[in-house]
Amino acid sequence: MKIIKVFYNYFFKSPYRFILRWLILKKSLEKASAFLKQGKFIVSIDYKSLIHESCQDEKKLNKNNPSFKRNIIIQILELLLNNTFKLENNPVARDAGMIGGGTVMIMSNKKHNQSNYSNFKVIDSESMRVFSFYNSKKSFQNHIDGCKYFGNFYNIPQYSIVSNDDFVIEEELIGFKHSKYFSSKDFENVFNSMTLSYSKQIDYVLSSKAYNLKRLEVLYKGSDNMVASFMSDVNDALYKISSIHKFPYFLQHGDLCLSNILLSTSGESYLIDWEHMCSYVFLYDLMWVWQNEAIHKGNYYYLNKYFLGNYDQYLSQLFDKFDLKYHKDYRINHFFIVIAELINRRIISFNNHNMTDSFIKNKLIPMINTLKDKYLK
């Protein structure tokens, strides 16, 4: 059975995904042609973006970040399919005054309708604009709703609707500092900005009663002994605090990694991207960036400060707002609130026990073990 699965993935699944990505890029390029710079666009190494030939920095970054696995079948397909698209003059777009200078087209990570183009963005660094294209009215409206709601509490780029019919939104391009170049002061600036905005949001949620209370438990049990044991530990940790009270759920961003929190050159933080906006458990947005930095970048800056008690006063104030009790001795338990929600809402969505177990074993468990070894002995 294992040999059949390997054969299927090698000769059918991987090539199918490759061809699908290529077709979606081609379809999306046609959709965005009026907003892109004329000339040649090179397909990125992961087949998630198109980069104009003039973008030397992006082209160099593209070569140094191979992330799409290439077996011999895919390599043959790459030779047969052109990985460079040429964009000629578009007289219709020129007559309509729509020709832009977009040099990078980035595809969405969210699952899309395979019969259509994906959601994607076109970046025009000359006019400092970003055009977001959506493949459905729902995704389009979700972006608008996210801007309207979160704009009450957070800084967001200025936006306008380009086309209600074609589902296109124009936004201000924020000049920002990449997180890999952050100093301690930059991390603190982001934290201070986020905590202030999160407090404002909670005040609104309470005043409008826009939340509900639920008990929390992790839904996934694990099909591997190590994973099953870890899930049991998570549920035990949750029980200690869930038996005391239920937790509030309310509308949150859902993906507050430092790729979606832009630290501008003036030091202000801006939120972007609303694909995962939904109702999540209390603390989810706040702690999401902490776990995301640790899991994906090995950066424990925020988690170290959390487990050292630097954030106890702020968190206690947040808990008080909901008439809940923050226990500093239960820091790992409170952190498991977000881990449980991460598993319930994102990891289980893989719909593949092997992938779910692999993520938990290779990402979550090492992170938790690192924290336990450092702070809970």
Q: Give me the CATH number covering residue 315.
A: 3.90.1200
pLDDT digits (tens, 9 = 90+) for 136-164: 899 999 999 999 999 999 999 999 999 99
Q: Which residues contact 70 (CB under 8 A, 6 or more apart)?
A: 78
pLDDT for residue 222 is more than 90:
no
Do 10 and 132 belong together in one domain?
yes
Q: Which of 66-80, 278-292, 337-351 has the highest mean pLDDT?
A: 278-292
What is the predicted pLDDT for the residue at 332? 93
Mean pLDDT throughout 264-285?
Answer: 93
Looking at the structure, tell me whether residues 197 and 315 fall in a common domain.
yes
Say if residues 299 and 293 touch (Cβ distance below 8 Å): yes
Examine the pLDDT at 58 and tell me if it is beyond 60: no
pLDDT computed for residue 348 by the predictor: 80
Same domain, 117 and 25: yes
Give the separation between CA 300 and CA 370, rounded to whole angstroms. Answer: 10
Q: Are residues 165 and 238 in the same domain?
A: no
Are the C-beta atoms of 132 and 169 separated by less than 8 Å?
Answer: yes
101, 16: one domain: yes
State the residue range of the domain holding 231.
179-375
Residue 242 has which token pair? 């869930």
The residue-averaged pLDDT of 311-329 equals 93
pLDDT at 230 over 80: yes
DSSP state of 271: E
Question: Same domain for 138 and 234?
Answer: no
Least confident of 131-135, 238-242, 311-315, 325-329: 238-242
132 touches 168 (CB < 8 A): yes
106 vs 119: CA distance, rounded Å: 9
Rounded distance between C-alpha atoms, residue 305 and residue 339, angstroms: 18
- Asked whether residue 165 falls in the same domain as residue 210, the answer is no
Which residues does 302 contact at the CB level (< 8 Å), separation at least 6?
A: 187, 191, 289, 290, 293, 294
Mean pLDDT of 66-94: 66
DSSP string of 272-292, one letter each residue? ---TT-EEEETTHHHHHHHHH
- Is the pLDDT at 43 greater than 90? The verdict is no
Interval 168-184: pLDDT, tens: 999 999 999 999 899 99
Rounded Cα distance, 248 and 370, in Å: 29
More confidently predicted of 225 and 277? 277
Looking at residue 227, its amino acid is V
Residue with tokens 């998570």: 234
Both 98 and 186 in one domain: the answer is: no
Share of the chain above pLDDT 70, in %: 86
Task: List beta partners, residue 36.
Answer: 102
Q: What pLDDT does residue 112 have?
A: 45
Chosen domain end from 143, 172, 201? 172
- 255 and 275 Cβ atoms separated by less than 8 Å: yes
d(CA 12, CA 20): 12
> For residue 54, is pLDDT > 50?
yes
Q: 24: closest CA among 80, 81, 88?
A: 81
Same domain, 207 and 165: no
- Among 290, 255, 293, smallest CA distance to 274 is for 255
Last residue in a domain, options 121, 141, 172 = 172
pLDDT value, residue 1: 62
pLDDT confidence of residue 236: 87
**Confidence at 75, pLDDT banded by 50, 70, 90:** confident
**Tally of structural domains, the chain:** 2
pLDDT band at 115 (very low <50, low <70, confident <90, very high): very low
Closest-CA residue to 189 (of 308, 315, 302): 302
Q: 238-265: per-residue pLDDT in tens?
A: 888 876 678 999 999 999 999 999 999 8
User: Percent of the chain, pLDDT > 90?
Assistant: 47
**Which ranges constitute the DSSP H helices of the chain?**
2-8, 14-32, 56-63, 72-80, 91-95, 137-150, 184-207, 225-242, 284-297, 301-307, 312-321, 331-342, 353-359, 365-375
Tokens coding 121:
């963005």
Do strands 261-263 and 247-252 pair parallel, antiparallel, or not at all (unpaired)? unpaired
Q: Answer whether 9's CB lies under 8 Å from 18's CB.
A: no
Residue in 1, 5, 18 with CA at minimum distance from that of residue 71:
18
Q: Does 183 lie in the same domain as 90?
A: no
Give pTM, 2 decimals: 0.84
> What mean pLDDT is reported for the chain?
84
Q: Is residue 359 predicted with pLDDT exceeding 70?
A: yes
For residue range 5-31, what is the model confidence (pLDDT) as tens digits? Answer: 666 666 677 778 778 878 888 888 888
Q: Which of 172, 196, 231 is the last residue of a domain?
A: 172
Distance CA 150, CA 338 (A): 20
pLDDT reported for residue 93:
47
152 and 246 in a single domain? The answer is no
Please check whether residues 323 and 273 belong to one and the same domain: yes
Mean pLDDT of all residues in 309-314: 97
